[in-house]
Amino acid sequence: MSEHQHEATEGVRVEDLRFDAKGLIATVIQQHDTREVLMVAWMDAEAVRRTVTTGRTWFWSRSRQEYWCKGETSGNIQTVHDVLVDCDADTLLVLVDQKGVACHTGERTCFYRPVIAERSEEAPDE
Ligand SMILES: [Zn+2]
């Protein structure tokens, strides 16, 4: 399943990940071959374990307070190729094969809008 061969000593165990005060870790989801950044969501330890063991992405919904498996209802599943952790062990990068689209809006990726620096002319504080 893994594209990269990790030495056992290089791996970071789930219990050693640096979850925030709410027990969550930010997770970036990226298309494994095009390196397209698809979405960002939150995992807790159980979601990380489910993702690694099932080969599908699992997240913790802060608003609904429940686990959800990406594509469970939409069919836009993400097949996991690799789960990586950054140098600080506080952010995950999950390389996937995205079926269909990643964003609930119907866009391929959640990152389809640029941020603009223009100030509103009606801004009362300017
Ligand atoms: Zn989205």
Ligand 1 center to residue 124 CA distance, Å? 31
The SS3 assignment for 1 reads coil
What's the rounded Cα separation, in Å, for the pair 37 and 109? Answer: 7
What's the rounded Cα separation, in Å, for the pair 29 and 92? Answer: 8
Ligand 1 center to residue 39 CA distance, Å? 6
Ligand 1 center to residue 125 CA distance, Å? 31
Ligand 1 center to residue 5 CA distance, Å? 31
Taking only the tens place, the pLDDT of each residue in 30-56 is 999 999 999 999 999 999 999 999 999
Ligand 1 center to residue 97 CA distance, Å? 16
The SS3 assignment for 67 reads strand
Length of the chain: 126
Ligand 1 center to residue 40 CA distance, Å? 8
Ligand 1 center to residue 120 CA distance, Å? 25
> Which pTM does this prediction carry?
0.85
The widest CA-to-CA distance across the chain, in whole angstroms, is: 58
Ligand 1 center to residue 112 CA distance, Å? 9
| 21 has a pLDDT exceeding 70 | yes
Domains of the chain, each with CATH number or no CATH:
8-98 (3.10.20.810)
What's the rounded Cα separation, in Å, for the pair 47 and 54? Answer: 10
Ligand 1 center to residue 103 CA distance, Å? 3
Least confident interval from 61-65, 84-88, 117-121? 117-121
| 9 has a pLDDT exceeding 60 | no
Nearest to 101 by CA among 59, 67, 71: 71
Say what the pLDDT of residue 125 is: 61
Burial (CB < 10 A; 0-12, 13-18, 19+), residue 33, is exposed
